[in-house]
Amino acid sequence: MKTATLTEKDFPLPLLGTADLHGPIGLDAHGLEPRGTVRWNYETPELQQHAMRRGEGDLSAHGVFTSRTGARTGRSPKDKFTVRDAVSEDTIWWGKINQPCKPELFEKMLGHAQWFLSHREELFVQDLFCGANTAHRISLRVVTESAWHAAFARTMMIRPTAAELATHKPEYTVLHTPYLLADPDTVADLDSNAFILLSLKHKLVLIGGTQYAGEIKKSLFSIMNYLLPATGQLPMHCSCNTTGDNTAVFFGLSGTGKTTLSADPNRRLVGDDEHGWTDHGIFNFEGGCYAKLINLKEEEEPAIYATTRMPGTIMENVILGPDGTPDFTNDSLTANTRAAYPIEYIKNREPSGTAGHPQNIVFLTCDAFGVLPPIAQLTPEQAAYHFISGYTAKVAGTEMNIDTPTATFSTCFGAPFMPRHPGVYAKLLTEKMAEHQSQCWLLNTGWIAGGYGQSDRIKIKWTRALLNAALEGQLANVDYQTDPRFGFQIPQTCPNVPSEILNPRDTWESPTAYDHQANQLSQMFRENFQQYAADTPAPICNAGPGAMSSNST
């Protein structure tokens, strides 16, 4: 364990001096009777100093706090449940993703969490906001036994001013007990010793048995995804950047490039992961970014790389060398190494956390099969089809037991966090795209040339060149070729990109092998979409791919 003293001068951001300030709502409102010390709204330097004192992590050579999350280095979707009761019964899309639990189970685990937290020697409480748009944000509270998790919550959410704290009344609360392990042998309906339980009735989230900090932010994201559609606003699993006059949003699952591609020196970052689209434009849900670090290179991602040298950033599961320097190539703990940092650490950002209506919608997919083109232009019907489908590959380490890229269809490019029926979000997206005449692009950040195992991922410099050309209108007047299976339009030229990579079939040694793989992927699309076909208009259903023989290509 490295020892160090962190002071205000070590941190790039000014401090507000709000330690131990809080509003009129005490912990008794959550059924807690603390026996130990409660540390209210400590700022990052203080929290990280306490984390060091408590042995919760190390400091890198650059003074960056580095933690480990134990056995769980990614989300645990099988351990996530929503209470099924009168409030949620008719509004949640129940199934394998939105798993129901009985109110009795929630009450039992709530009692365990309340007792456990009440008997800790220290508690760390953070009163925060979710949502940069004050008309659509929620006030929240995170109560945790862990100093570094409190720092994570403070980093990722929107931090109130001292004046706002004085009147802060949490609408939703997270009781966070990473070291409280459930016993699935004695607690019916739990699959493991981890549990993530959401009660919309109680406006309460219980997180236990997992130290992976991402569960905190994704639970709050799920709440926003439930609330916003009720008022006609679209919650989105996307990043966003803008020039002021030109705004783009990037949909995609973890590992597909949302954080990387939205950090552009020529465009102001609005946010890297979670946004809402209202009648007035885009707003960020968060106050921080959560970037993957595996194989991070300064020359490819300078803005993100710089944050790993700034005290206040939190690195997860990153291996430090003997001199304290992070080794971003080391995946011995997980490929899902992460950094959480305040969005202010990105110099070229939009301070308001808001932007206008997007001119461009980008669907990011990490295609492990090497079938989809590096970029394609979609019609409105194709956009709706691919949004509902949400095809990508789960990248190694993002979830438990995912070691290699695995094909998946994740509705709205974020199914694990979408409580309502997919049609609710698809309808809102298509309506807003039509109203604001947004163009849609499919951007493959995965593989071509034979797919995973046969080639490397597409070079990020090519992906950036394709993206910038699309956003800047440079692809408006080039020649396009219609993909014979998927029907979308593939540009045949793009500045700074080799033309030979634009049509994926041409990159395979065997065109017949490509046709076979492409037909398989097309069939996967069709089979997946059957579950939505009955409630989806025919033009959207017909916008999906068809099968072809090699002789017809």
Strand partners for 333: none
Annotated catalytic residue 2: no
Annotated catalytic residue 136: no
Q: Which of these is catalytic: 72, 258, 268, 457?
A: 258
Annotated catalytic residue 75: yes
Annotated catalytic residue 259: yes
Annotated catalytic residue 88: no
Q: Which of these is catalytic: 44, 139, 254, 313?
A: 254
d(C-alpha 73, C-alpha 79), whole Å:
14
Q: Which of these is catalytic: 39, 149, 237, 394?
A: 237
Pick from 288, 275, 402: which is nearest to 338 by CA? 288
Residues 6 or more apart in contact with residue 395 via CB below 8 angstroms:
253, 254, 255, 256, 335, 366, 402, 405
Q: Which of these is catalytic: 242, 247, 259, 334?
A: 259
Exposure on the CB side of residue 199, measured as CA atoms within 13 A: 19
Is the alpha carbon torsion for 475, 513, 487, 250 positive or negative? Answer: negative
At 551 the pLDDT is 47
The two tokens of residue 370 are 């090497």
Q: What is the mean pLDDT of each successive set of 10 residues along the chain, which is 553 residues long?
A: 60 72 93 96 94 96 96 94 97 94 96 97 98 96 98 97 94 98 84 95 98 97 97 95 96 82 91 95 97 92 94 97 96 95 94 97 93 95 93 66 74 92 91 95 93 87 95 95 95 95 94 93 93 87 77 48
Q: Which of these is catalytic: 141, 218, 292, 421?
A: 218
At 1 the pLDDT is 43
Q: To 5 degrees, how large is the angle CA 391–CA 302–CA 154?
A: 75
d(C-alpha 65, C-alpha 312), whole Å:
7
Q: Which of these is catalytic: 79, 127, 272, 273?
A: 273
Domains and CATH numbers, the chain: 8-57+70-231 (3.40.449.10), 234-287+353-552 (3.90.228.20), 290-345 (2.170.8.10)
Q: Which of these is catalytic: 50, 75, 136, 505?
A: 75
Q: Are 277 and 433 in contact (CB under 8 A)?
A: no
Is the alpha carbon torsion for 172, 178, 184, 187 positive or negative? Answer: negative
The two tokens of residue 32 are 């807690």
Annotated catalytic residue 237: yes
User: Which string of DSSP letters, residue by residue, matches 365-431?
Assistant: E--TTS-S-SEEEE-HHHHHHHHHH-EEEEPTTSBTT--S-EEEE-GGG-GGG--S-HHHHHHHHHH
Q: Which of these is catalytic: 22, 136, 202, 338?
A: 338
Annotated catalytic residue 338: yes
Pick from 96, 75, 92: which is nearest to 83 by CA? 92
d(C-alpha 88, C-alpha 99), whole Å:
12
Residues 6 or more apart in contact with residue 178 via CB below 8 angstroms:
144, 145, 146, 149, 207, 208, 209, 210, 211
